[in-house]
Structure 1
Amino acid sequence: MKNSSQTSFFTVQRVFSAPKASLIAAAVATSLMLAACGGGSASDAFDTASTVDAASRNTTAFAVTSPAANATVSGTVTVKGTTGSKWAKVSVVDMTTGNKVARDATPANGSFSTTVDTTRQVNGNHTWQITATDSTGGTRSVQNVSVVVNNTKATTPTTAKIFYGANGHNNEGGAYDISSPALQLSQLQDLGVKMYRNEVFSEWGANKLAGMAKTMAAGGVTVYPVMLMGLDFNSETDAYNAGYQLGVWTATAYKYPYYEVTNELEADALVGNVDGVYPEHFDNTKFQIARGVIRGMIAGIKSVDTNGKIIMGGGAWMHYAFDQMLANGTQPDGTTGHPVVNWDITAWHWYSDQGDITNACGGTGCHDILATLQQLGKPIWINEFGVRPWYGTDQQIASYLVGNQMMAQFVAVASKYNIQALQTYELYDDPAGGEGAYGLLMNDGKTPKAAYTAFKNFVAANPK
């Protein structure tokens, strides 16, 4: 909505943007931040060596004895086997996502054992690549085990409390300055909302949002920050350091249960009017800088708060190749072995002009966005959805908001795709000259629109 970014057949408008002055402040790097760099390494990514290469290695003393090939698994599964004396570390990577799925095991007495929590994986066929590495890290032995994950209980006790939410702009003025936190809380409670997403782009903003989070928590609403930053950096290292500082500021101000790292940053890395479904749809240098920002934010958060869950910043339209590259340690130039980014929840944005999220059509054809995101192996949050203000009358907008290509559809397919939260955009209309009349209430902060009533009634009729 701010700073329009044209993609394929639709205009994905930027909802949150960070003032450049805050980026300059956030870019102050210290040697301590440089020392903190890490955020993943080539060893986190799956081994793409050919079958011939793998067969030529010395695997005599390394064998996986459990699970058996093609076993059906659920819950917590033990991965174990024999190693002899050659191997110093054994890791397990799900080749479907490229993510590690178990703690590295240190062999003892000629054997190894570790566990995989399969409830964190999507039901279906998976190939686990189990790799033994010697003490130098230079020699590997690889065995692949195919399994079928089948967990019938995919939800968590907290899912019901966080399913419905809303977006706010409490660090960007307008009606949010007119309305007190107490008034906003009462409105959110009336709507049945449990989650409230707001931006952070500076130390001052982090401290301001922390005060609101405390007020909201006392009333049963969870606030979480979406951390904003652009690509105005000279290198991935500079971007990392700036992201790290903002992560530290945000987590120091308040320990949130969730932290979202960036907002539609992938759109800024596109090479033009492309769908974003292939790595080559992204600029390599911009992707590296974006990766630095994200890695830095996560490292900064985790240096202060090791418990908060990381939400991968809401992507938009069909730009899912960006997240795939982050998860796989790859980049647009086709090279591999780059830092792998790990997160807990994948966020996505969807608006009325984009049509059906399970059959989105662009220049590359039609795609089931939710099915592709699900392959990343994380719960999905649709943490921005809304109807363009020019769609029609207030009543037409309200009907679309709760209709079968938005809220009704999202709820209907939630269990299929592991959608755990929906957050409408937004609570209040923006003032004249702002992003537009997307709100459930007018810009005075108190007058409900037709969408307010429709949203409230839908939530009441579809409890989660």
Structure 2
Amino acid sequence: MIKRRQFLGGLTALGGAYLLNAYGQTSGIAAGASPDGTAIPSASSIIDKVGSKWTVSNGVIYRNGSTVGNTYNVSLLLWYGGKMWHIGTGGQFYVHTDLDKWLPCSDPRVAVGAPPGSFYGINGHFDYTYTPAQLISILKSMGCTNYRVGCSDDPKQVNAVVKLAQAFQSSGISLLVLINQGIFDSNGILFTSESAAYNRGLQAAMTVANALKPYGVTVYECGNELTRQVPTVLDFTSAGTKAIDFNNLNWPVMRGVMRGMIDGVKAVQSDAKCGINFCVADIGAADALWDGMQPDGSGGYPKVRWDITTWHNYEVYGDIFNIGIDGAGPGFDLPTYCKARYGVPFVITEWNTGPEKSQDYRASYITSTLGKFYQGRKTHNIQSVMYFVLDSGDNTFGVMTNGVTLNPPYSAFTSFVSANADN
């Protein structure tokens, strides 16, 4: 089951720890910062958001007169989406990271749009009292074509999701199933090794995929916010843009369970798509997993390669198109980074404001945030955005309670969908 959240006094409770709302705060653009898209050539220099001056001399990149990482034969230095990019030998693009490393990627300027018909989605829980038929009716009335629901391999949970899958198969609404296997064993103890975590993830994913394969489920999310558990992140107030923000000792356990879930799904459904989700601005974690690195910078470990990059973006984390670095740092365009870095579709599987907000505020937030997401869907490879949640059992997150709509949030959501076609 996707965890139900609790916001306390402007802090977000996740995994038993608190995330400061400074995530969303950025220092803004320094006076004289270069316009987005500025490049050398033809510009002679580029000024970034903190006022640093970037130049290229004899094919080498300099920042304020000092070299930045290891660069040579640079033919283009580009300022785009709050990040520095360059083309190196052979036409390969690279992106600059917080620790002055350059990682391979594609040209961030290339617009990529997801296929139409899957953009609007919403979250639910396996233990709702709504019947599958009622859920289908509700989702269709809202204009949703995607429904995210989570389960472990516990028979009660799997059987509940199977019933949903059976009903949804011919409904025109797709299920994205979260395989809710974590980094702890059945006794709540952290797995003792990467292999133990891998085997448990493999077992759980195979059980879930075997049960759902006959009913047309083809998209799975492998684990929920695993980078934001007490054993995996060192400081919950960090934005996660650096690999060193994460626990080096426990990293293999997290990596193992992720790999196990992906391999388990693929063993049952080779053509299924698997996502790994991240929070806040966790590109440091995503990069390390993708490249088989440890947080301490050592490499050569198993790589975690997903088919869909999935992300959680609550208001407290900041605008995902200009998300801040460790609270005080300048913002960057996270979907653009992921599009260029990993080259797979991007799905926002949870988004909302905080539960302490008024219903009027929530409605306004829904309208404005959907507007930003909708604008980016054809350029940032955003395949779907999935509101959290349909029914939270109260008037905190949901847009209805026990089948009764909560307005104005419900009407804000449905009005936007009705006025902005997914085409």
TM-score by length of 1: 0.65
Corresponding residue for 1:271? 234
The aligned residue for residue 356 of structure 1 is: 319
Match of 2:316, SS state, is: helix
For 1:430 and 1:200, the matched residues in 2 are separated by: 18
Partner SS state of residue 286, structure 2:
helix
Structure-2 residue corresponding to 1:335: 298
Shift of 1:192: 0.4
Distance, in Å, in 2 between the alignment partners of 1:199 and 1:267 is 18
Distance 1:230 1:266 in 2: 10
Deviation at 1:8, TM superposition (A): 4.7
1:342 deviates by: 1.2
2:30 is aligned with 1:7? no
3-state SS of paired residue (1:243): helix
Partner of residue 247, structure 2? 283
> 2 CA distance for matches of 1:149 and 1:225?
30
The yes-or-no answer on 1:417 pairing with 2:380 is yes
**Which position in structure 2 is the counterpart of 1:217?**
169
Distance 2:209 2:270 in 1: 10
Unaligned runs of 5+ in 1: 13-68, 71-122, 131-144
SS in 2 for 1:289: helix
How far has the Cα of 1:460 moved from its partner? Answer: 1.0
- Report whether the alignment pairs 1:237 with 2:162: no
Correspondences of 1:36-435 after superposition (within 5 Å): 154-155=112-113, 159-170=115-126, 173=127, 176-177=128-129, 179-204=130-155, 205-231=157-183, 232-255=190-213, 256-268=217-229, 269-272=232-235, 273-312=237-276, 314-361=277-324, 362-363=326-327, 365-368=329-332, 369-374=334-339, 375-392=341-358, 394-403=359-368, 406-430=369-393
CA distance in 1, matches of 2:108, 2:262: 29
Deviations 1:213-252 (A, max 9, x none): 1202222111121111222211111110110011101110
Give yes or no for contact 1:398–1:454 (8 Å, CA) kept in 2: yes
Runs of 4 or more above 6 Å deviation: 126-130, 145-152
Deviation, 1:391, is 1.9
CA distance in 2, matches of 1:164, 1:263: 20
Task: State the one-letter code of the partner of 2:211.
Answer: A
CA 1:128–1:323 in structure 2 vs 1: closer, same or farther (change >3 Å)?
Answer: farther
Per-residue CA deviations over 1:135-164 (Å, capped at 9, x if unaligned) read xxxxxxxxxx99979977x445xx212111
The 1:321/1:254 distance shift into structure 2, 3 A limit, reads same
Q: Provide the secondary structure at the position in 1 that maps to 2:210.
A: helix
Distance (Å, rounded) in 2 between the aligned partners of 1:147 and 1:388: 35
Alignment check: 8 A CA contact 2:308 2:346 kept: yes
Question: 1:395 corresponds to which letter in structure 2?
Answer: D
Deviation at 1:410, TM superposition (A): 1.0
Q: Which amino acid aligns with 2:19?
A: T
Task: Provide the rounded CA distance (Å) in 2 between the counterparts of 1:184 and 1:345.
Answer: 25
Taking only the aligned residue pairs, the percentage that are identical comes to 29
For 2:364 and 2:380, the matched residues in 1 are separated by 24
Quick check: which has more Rg, 1 or 2? Answer: 1
Deviations 1:108-153 (A, max 9, x none): xxxxxxxxxxxxxxx99587799xxxxxxxxxxxxxx99979977x
Matched residues in 2 for 1:438 and 1:279: separation?
31
SS in 2 for 1:463: coil
Q: Residues 127 and 331 (structure 1 numbering): CA distance in 2 closer, same or farther, change over 3 Å?
A: farther
Amino acid at match of 2:166: K
How far, CA to CA, are the matches of 2:180 and 2:284 in structure 1?
21
What per-residue deviation string (whole Å, max 9, x for no partner) do you get for residues 88-122 of structure 1?
xxxxxxxxxxxxxxxxxxxxxxxxxxxxxxxxxxx
The residue that corresponds to 1:452 in the other structure is 410
Distance, in Å, in 1 between the alignment partners of 2:303 and 2:131 is 41
In structure 2, do the counterparts of structure 1 residues 330 and 396 end up closer, same or farther at CA, with 3 Å as the change threshold?
Answer: same
**Could you tell me how far apart the structure 2 residues matched to 1:447 and 1:11 are?**
31
* Contact 1:124–1:149 under 8 Å retained in 2: no
Taking the aligned partners of 1:364 and 1:298, their CA distance within structure 2 comes to 35
Output the amino acid matched with 1:370.
P
Quick one: structure 1 residues 124 and 310, their matched pair in 2 at CA, closer, same or farther if it must change by over 3 Å? Answer: farther
Question: Where does the alignment leave 5 or more consecutive residues of structure 2 unmatched?
Answer: 7-12, 25-72, 75-84, 93-103, 184-189
Native 8 Å contact 1:240 1:297 kept in 2: yes
SS of 2:399's partner is coil
When the two chains are superposed, the root-mean-square deviation of aligned CA atoms in Å is: 2.9
Give, as a single letter, the amino acid of the residue that structure 1 aligns with 2:361. Answer: Q
Count of matched residue pairs? 326
Distance 1:303 1:365, change over 3 A: same
Query: Structure 2: which amino acid aligns with 1:383?
Result: T
**How many angstroms apart in 1 are the aligned matches of 2:23 and 2:293?**
27
Q: Work out the CA distance in 2 between the residues paired with 1:126 and 1:350.
A: 33
1:440 aligns with 2:399: yes
Please tell me the residue identity of whatever aligns with 1:165. G
**Hey, what's the Cα distance between the residues in 2 that align with 1:147 and 1:293?**
29
